[in-house]
Amino acid sequence: MSRYRGPRLRVTRRLGELPGLTRKSTRKAYPPGQHGQARRKRSEYAVRLEEKQKLRYNYCISEKQLLRYVKAARGSKGSTGQVLLELLEMRLDNTVFRMGMAPTIPGARQLVTHGHILVNGRRVNIPSYQCQIEDVIAVRDRERSRNLVESNLQYPGLANLPSHLEFDKDKLVGKVNGVIERDWVALNVNELLVIEYYSRKL
């Protein structure tokens, strides 16, 4: 299944707030569809599936990509769920979003793919690029690139900059100083349920 490009509020009504997908909030507090307001007991599988979908839609990745991240997390040392979140948070598109250069992760993807972002002085147009500690992320020194980011900085998607990042709004240059701590992950998700969901498939 490819990356989701449909109506975003429909997804947030079903899964809850997804800060990476959209800044809009819905006025309806129940899921979409004919039976959205009906009370139904959810199975354990449905609960795990919902947590997995939160990750997919918030970080704007495909099922195949998420499965790759889970496999990589399982092969790493430490808590698999924590490592999975670290891998997703260290993606270039998410890092650009968390620095405030874009209002959403889809907006950050567009900045990256259109060549407006530099990593260590080199243009990188791959949103899934894994940022490393000490990486310097800057806006390309072109008037159009700077104007785009400066207008986005007036209305950032998230107000607080995570502790592992730093960003100079005047120079439009940021730096990755470490790995994100669990408390700074903006998405309300139970990553252990995601690992349990995939444990039957791997």
CA distance 134 to 178: 8
pLDDT in tens, 164-202: 999 999 999 999 999 999 999 988 899 999 999 998 776
| Fold adopted by 91-178 | 3.10.290
Q: What is the mean pLDDT of residues 129-139?
A: 96
Average pLDDT of the chain, as a whole number: 87
Report d(CA 132, CA 120) in Å as an integer.
Answer: 11
pLDDT at position 151 over 80: yes
Could you tell me which residues come within 8 angstroms of residue 200 by beta carbon, excluding any fewer than 6 positions away? Answer: none
What are the tens digits of pLDDT across the range 2-49?
677 777 777 777 777 888 887 666 665 655 554 555 566 778 888 899
Q: What is the mean pLDDT of residues 143-158?
A: 89
- What backbone phi and psi angles, to 5 degrees, belong to 80? -60, -45
- pTM for the whole structure: 0.86
What pLDDT, on the 0 to 100 scale, is given for residue 70?
95
Within 8 A by CB and 6+ apart from 154, the residues are none
- Domain ranges in the chain are 8-87+187-199, 91-178
Q: Does domain 8-87+187-199 have CATH number 1.10.1050.10?
A: yes
